[in-house]
Amino acid sequence: MNSKRSMWKLLLGVVGVGLLVTNCTVKTESDTGCNAGTKKPGCDCTGNVTGYQSCLDDGTYGACVCPQGTAGNSSGGGANAAGAMNSSAGKGGGTAEGGTSSAGEGGASAAGEGGAGGAPTVAYANCIECLNDRCAAQYAACDADPNCISTNLDQSGQYERIAACIDKERIKGLVKRDVVRGCGVTIGASADPDVLSNWAPEDMDPVTTDLLNCMADAPGAQPASWANDDANYPVDSNDMIHPTPWPAGSCAKDACTSAQ
């Protein structure tokens, strides 16, 4: 699977530059079983997408839980892929330690929203893990495009540079819409440009744009509403910009912008 290949490749690059593995740990489990309630990403779903498995009370993993619109392979697979996913935390310039997701399975809607079935909370170790789950198609396209994620381990890909810019800002606290947009419109060169700059910039690869839109938009929203909707950047009498919070169910809220 292309996604798994580049996760290993980019892990080496990220470790080499020492940028994005803050608080990321590689977890292994004994051969005798797993701890009830833990989740293991990496099982195979249809369409070259990965899901996760939850450890049951008897110490074994249950069926593969896949993003909305996909299904697990009949074998429930992914056991051998788990190591690749766990070892690649922080891969591809992804942000480090993320928050707890408020979205249900597949990130289709916020957990508990309208009392919808009591969907379980999903905790993501980092931004890449969330993107690979909730934005599987966009992430796979970026992963296959060297302009989005580099193939030569030099962190030159557009998404990698933007993610590194976001990570630097996360040290200061929660990264808001205007800062993420700043990292985006400059392809990672600055977090503080004019927030009215056109989105997306002309020199941004379309797959990079699609991935960032999926990361920041509310589930089911019009693509790029996070950047192009003036309501998200209200201005007060002193012309001070106060961006609205990230929407529930987005990777921006649950894994990619939380303070480190």
| Domain contains 147 | yes
Domain assignment present for residue 62? The answer is no
Lowest mean pLDDT of 78-87, 131-140, 208-217, 219-228, name the range.
Answer: 78-87
Picking from 180, 192, 248, 183, the residue whose alpha carbon sits closest to that of residue 217 is 248
The full length of the chain comes to 260
- Is 65 inside a domain boundary? no
Position 33 in a domain: no
Number of domains making up the chain:
1
Could you tell me if residue 250 is inside a domain?
A: yes
Judge whether 131 lies within some domain. Answer: yes
pLDDT (tens digit per residue) in 155-192: 899 999 999 999 999 999 999 999 999 999 999 999 98
CB 102 within 8 A of CB 248: yes
The H or E element containing residue 2 is helix 2-17
pLDDT in tens, 42-91: 777 776 777 777 778 787 878 887 776 555 553 333 333 233 333 333 33
In a domain, 55, yes or no: no
> Residue 145: which domain range?
2-25+89-256
d(Cα 156, Cα 218) in Å, to the nearest integer?
28
Structural domain includes residue 217 = yes
